[in-house]
Amino acid sequence: MIKTDVIIIGGGSTGCGIARDLALRGIAHHLIEKGDFAAGATGACHGLLHSGGRYAVSDPEAAKECIRENMILRKIGEKCVEQTGGLFVRLAGDSRRYRDRFLESCDAVGIDTELLSAGKAMDLVPKLNPSLEEAVRVPDCSIDPFRLCMLNAITSKNRGGVFHRHHEVFEFIKEKGRLAGVRARDRFTGEVLELRARVIINASGAWGKKIANLAGHDLPMTLSKGSLVITNHRLTNLVINRLRPPSNGDIIVPNEAVCLAGTTSISVDNPDNLVVGADEVDIVTREAGRMIPEFNSTRLIRAYTGVRPLLLAEGDATDDRSVSRGFRIINHQDGMYSILGGKLSTYRLMAEKMVDTVLKEVFEKTVPCQTADLPLEGQEYLSGYPLSKRLRDMKDIICECELVTRKDVESVIDRIGTKSIGDIQHRTRLGMGPCQGGFCTYRALGIIQEKGKITCDESMGALREFLQKRFRGIRPALWGDQLREEQLVEGIYLNIMNMEQQ
């Protein structure tokens, strides 16, 4: 049994942000995550660090938080934020009055805007639909959510924070009517971990309700599935938004060598085992294609879906997008707090408020928050964008798509002693390019095995698991060149490697 001050449930941006904040304020904590870092909504979003423009008209409060956090994150997270800038493009048929309201609202909440003619916009993003009317420039950024979580975790670990990944909470320990701790099961070994703390923070996002139910509570939240696609090219250097009230498929975000586009919005009951429908892929590519026509002919390398945990508004909410994107902290009055709602862009603010609350109400003290002032620790190991920075040491390339060398892979294994392919992917971008790990995962697992971190049997098991997961992501986008590549990958693993199900 382990005793600590705070237990955090959930290793998404909120949970990792809370861990970093607690660490910087000197509070001991353990974090429990049932999967890997950023396995929920955090890792399945656009990777858009909002300027706030998207919320300026409908939710000025959220917009204000966005722009403030945007300015903070670009300062503290240099290596996981790319300062791309963004455009809101108005296409033929999009309301001009909405544009006026948009400009006024941005101005009111302090978002810098610049109205650009169609020609100026095309100069910035040559692949834009030439029939656009005009565009508004805003300070959007692209952010790597995996790195963000990892870097927050590093600050925590540097100060004694402990992370239990792949542990699922299955029971709360109750004593004298209070929640005294949790029991979690290691999903690989089945071993049970018992943790006790003065306070438990439920930061499990879309799984928040499940966790609350386990403790005998309910949460006023609703789930909305959003699906996205990834192209094999970086079709734009700026974030592209559609200048209209938020709708399907109206955001395109450049991310390193690729582009992400989304999303859809469909109410769901269960956050697990979601699949992307062929119709969702068609909707997203069609809408993205209106802003950047090349979207209709470019190869998609993957589709994925995430679940937004949304705050249920008072009364009836009919449209998921009209539900507030703000966040709320709920004190369950029995030693547990839940933090729900919110978004990646405001994760730091959410963590700050959460830690302020437990410090005041549980620990009865005030320690100033430092998360906005200190840079994220551990960034010195990251390559950052652009890709050309990685060209210096071209010898022995393991992942041709993302130019990851054997040395890069080996140094991650040596530094953090990992045996997980996910850890290497998130730190080096191995397998995130057009072939989606079809060639390099075999190699990377071979290297982990050579280094003695896993057995031969484990490397084969991990390869199988990876291939199935990869297929799940690729399946909704299988046509054209991606289908070609998929059949080649099938040929390699099912025919040459003879890995077909016997």
Binding site for another protein (CB under 8 A): 275, 277-278, 282, 285, 296, 396, 398, 406, 439, 442-443, 445-447, 449-450, 455-457, 459-460, 463-464, 467-468, 470-472, 475, 478-480, 483-484, 487-488, 490-501
Which lies closer to another protein via its Cβ, residue 114 or residue 450? Answer: 450
Nearest approach, Cβ of 489 to another protein (angstroms)? 9
* DSSP-assigned states of every residue in 406-432: HHHHHHHHHHH----HHHHHHHH-TT-
Three-class DSSP category at 341: strand
Q: Please, what is the minimum distance in Å from the beta carbon of residue 93 to another protein?
A: 24
- Tell me which DSSP letter residue 20 carries: H
Nearer of residues 79 and 443 to another protein, judged by Cβ? 443
- Neighbouring-strand partners of residue 194: 183
Kindly state the smallest distance separating residue 79's Cβ from another protein, in Å.
27
488 vs 476: CA distance, rounded Å: 17
CB of 496 to another protein, least distance (A): 5
CB of 265 to another protein, least distance (A): 21
The residue (of 253 and 463) whose beta carbon lies closer to another protein is: 463
Strand, coil or helix: 140: coil
CB of 428 to another protein, least distance (A): 15
Identify which of residues 84 and 449 has a Cβ nearer to another protein in the complex.
Answer: 449
Residue position matching structure tokens 């390559």: 383
- CB of 304 vs another protein, minimal distance in Å: 15
Distance CA 57, CA 246 (A): 10
Nearest to 185 by CA among 171, 169, 197: 169
DSSP string over 313-336: PSS----GGGS---EEEEE-SSSE
What is the C-alpha separation between 327 and 309, in angstroms, rounded?
A: 10
Closest to another protein by CB, 54 or 390: 390
- The percent of the chain in helix, strand and coil, each rounded to the nearest 5, is 40, 25, 35
Q: Contact, 297 vs 307, CB < 8 A? A: no
Identity of the residue, 368 or 452, whose beta carbon is nearer to another protein in the bound complex: 452
- Tell me whether residue 187 or residue 464 sits nearer to another protein (CB atom): 464
